[in-house]
């Protein structure tokens, strides 16, 4: 919708398409001056943090998994590991490896969905994945089969693909049989080659010339490509433990959004999480074929073009398939699916009142903290999803982009802004879980007769 020409240009995108959740974009331009840019997330807050208060802490993993149907493992895994820190539970190496396998399944199904169905249509001026399928039927069929393999991994390890129920504090409720995973080996071998072909296809796209000096943030480990845990690192020199997260990052409410914005506490500036951040910080720890493919495709190192995040996602799909194949091939069940200490009542251990954890969701770093009383009830919950961390950076990017395209038509400006937003793969529903309410009453309340 556009205001009359004698007024400042108002560009509204009432519904952002091909993103998860409900959001809109508002832009106000006076001449060549960008007055306002608002990525407005209007989906109602679901108040998960408040919902958890007063509930038994062992319910947190299954409740938080319902925050998102696309990446439930990210929420469930982070909740489980925060509780394990709180109760000082050390999991076995074999359990940790299965958890990485489970997370690989989520990366595969989520990344493939975004790459092919949500972002790829932008590079061909198409409105949907269905239109893309008409022009590239083989590529879309390949993607759907890869996503199915990711879902199957979640079914085997989690009990079901959507909102899995098998992940437990201390391990799993049930371990998969060896033959269950072995049956997946041929599919994983096919998927690995399919992921390489997808990355080559994606790298052939024509990318907009847009770069920014981002502060990339991700978990990092010296011994593996970080997924489950690690040290918080940034491209501007940050290195701290997850326990220090809230000393380094702050969430702030903005009037136009039901999602909070995150900033670096020291600089009050936005930052960037997600596949591009991970690859920029940890590229050397990708799987061998993922490194080989990234090098052959000439993915810049480092890369500061958010549109190229689609290549980074495709490279991570290769990594996920390669690691999943290795874990599956050597898997041998152990005798106990959970640590014995985790099978007792969690409320018996009360020496630590708070537990926190961070993992790498498909869209970026996710952080949970829980304060728990001596009765095992949750006193406070803090959940910081990737999209709320990226939202401030998206708005900053849009401001920069608009200065370069301000002379174009409103329709073209809207399309280019939407394209930039989709490059981040925002999961809007994930971020709309919190809202502060303030009521100002200037007049005394009257009493009804």
Residue 34 and residue 57: Cα distance in Å, rounded?
47
SS3 string, the chain, reads CCCCCCCCEEEEECCCCCCECCEEEEEEEECCEEEEEEEEECCCCCCHHHHHCCCEHHHHHHHHHHHCCCCHHHHHHHHHHHHHHHCCCCCCHHHHHHHHHHHHHHHHHHHHHHHHHHHHHHHHCCCCHHHHHHHCHHHHHHHHHHHHHHHHHHHHHHCCCCCCCCEECCEECCCCCHHHHHCCHHHHHHHHHHHHHHHHHHHCCCCCCCCCCCCEEEEECCCCCCCCCCEEEECCCCEECHHHHHHHEEEECCCCCCCCEEEECCCCCCCECCHHHHHHHHHHHCCHHHHHHHHHCCCCCCCCCHHHHHHHHHHHHHHHHHHHHHHHHHCCCCCCCECHHHHCCHHHCCCCCEEEEEEEECCEEEEEEEEECCCCEEEEEEEECHHHHHHHHHHHHHHHHHHHHCCCCHHHHHHHHHHHHHHCCCEHHHHCCCCCCCCCCCCCCCCCC
Q: Could you give the CA distance from residue 77 to residue 15 in angstroms, rounded to a whole number?
A: 31
Are residues 274 and 310 in contact, defined by beta-carbon separation less than 8 angstroms?
Answer: no
Torsion of CA 428, 58, 160, 67, to 10 degrees: -10
Give me the sign of the Cα torsion angle 206, 426, 401, 297: negative
39 forms bridges with which residues in the sheet? 25
At 390 the pLDDT is 93
pTM comes to 0.90
**Torsion over CA: 236, 257, 39, 218 (sign):** positive
Query: Can you tell me which residue has the tokens 């960037």?
Result: 272
| Residue 276 CB coordination number (10 Å) | 29
Rounded Cα–Cα distance for residues 251 and 387 (Å): 12
> Beta-carbon neighbour count of residue 171 at 10 Å?
26
Give the CATH number of domain 48-393; options: 1.10.645.10, 3.30.2270.10, 1.10.3720.10, 3.50.50.60. Answer: 1.10.645.10
Residue boundaries of the structural domains of the chain: 48-393
pLDDT value of residue 145:
98
Q: What is the mean pLDDT of each run of 10 residues along the chain (449 residues)?
A: 58 81 84 86 74 92 84 93 93 96 97 95 94 97 98 95 90 95 97 98 97 97 97 97 96 79 92 97 98 96 97 98 97 87 51 85 96 90 92 94 92 92 80 44 34
Q: Dihedrals φ, ψ of 171, to 5°?
A: 160, -125
User: For position 31, what pLDDT does the model report?
Assistant: 84
CA distances from 74 to 60, 336, 368, 387, 423 (A): 13, 24, 10, 13, 20
Q: What is the rounded end-to-end Cα distance, in angstroms, of the chain?
A: 46
- For the record, the structure tokens of 31 come out as 């001449």
pLDDT of residue 7: 62
According to the model, what pLDDT value does residue 4 have? Answer: 41
């Amino acid at each position: 919708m556009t205001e009359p020409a004698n007024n400042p240009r108002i560009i509204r995108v009432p519904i952002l398409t091909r993103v998860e959740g409900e959001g809109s974009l508002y832009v106000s331009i006076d001449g060549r001056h960008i007055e306002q840019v608002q990525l407005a997330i209007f989906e109602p807050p679901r108040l998960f943090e408040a919902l958890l208060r007063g509930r038994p802490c062992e319910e947190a993993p299954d409740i938080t998994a319902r925050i998102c149907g696309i990446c439930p493992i990210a929420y469930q895994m982070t909740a489980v590991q925060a509780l394990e820190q709180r109760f000082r539970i050390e999991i076995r190496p074999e359990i940790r490896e299965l958890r990485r396998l489970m997370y690989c399944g989520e990366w595969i199904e989520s990344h493939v969905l975004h790459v092919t169905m949500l972002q790829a249509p932008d590079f061909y001026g198409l409105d949907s994945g269905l239109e893309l399928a008409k022009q590239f039927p083989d590529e879309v069929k390949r993607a759907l089969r890869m996503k199915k393999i990711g879902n199957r991994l979640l079914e085997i390890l989690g009990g079901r693909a959507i909102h899995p129920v098998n992940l437990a504090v201390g391990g799993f409720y049930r371990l998969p049989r060896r033959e269950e995973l072995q049956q997946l080996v041929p599919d994983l071998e096919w998927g690995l080659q399919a992921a390489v072909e997808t990355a080559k296809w994606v790298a052939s796209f024509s990318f907009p010339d847009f770069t920014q000096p981002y502060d990339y943030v991700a978990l990092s480990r010296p011994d593996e490509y970080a997924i489950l845990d690690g040290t918080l690192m940034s491209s501007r020199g940050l290195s701290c433990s997850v326990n220090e997260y809230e000393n380094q990052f702050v969430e702030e409410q903005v009037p136009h959004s039901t999602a909070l914005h995150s900033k670096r506490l020291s600089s009050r500036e936005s930052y960037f999480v997600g596949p591009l951040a991970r690859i920029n910080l940890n590229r050397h720890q990708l799987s061998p074929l993922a490194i080989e493919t990234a090098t052959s495709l000439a993915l810049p190192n480092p890369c500061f073009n958010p549109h190229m995040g689609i290549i980074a996602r495709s490279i991570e799909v290769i990594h996920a398939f390669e690691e999943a194949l290795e874990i599956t091939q050597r898997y041998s069940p152990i005798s106990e699916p959970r640590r014995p200490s985790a099978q007792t009542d969690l409320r018996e251990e009360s020496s630590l009142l708070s537990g926190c954890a961070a993992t790498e969701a498909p869209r970026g770093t996710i952080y949970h903290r829980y304060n728990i009383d001596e009765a095992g009830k949750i006193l406070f919950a803090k959940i910081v999803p990737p999209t709320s961390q990226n939202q401030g950076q998206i708005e900053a990017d849009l401001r920069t982009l608009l200065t370069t395209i301000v002379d174009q038509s409103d329709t073209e400006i809207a399309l280019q802004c939407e394209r930039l937003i989709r490059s981040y793969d925002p999961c809007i529903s994930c971020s709309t879980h919190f809202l502060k309410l303030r009521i100002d009453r200037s007049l005394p309340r009257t009493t009804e007769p």
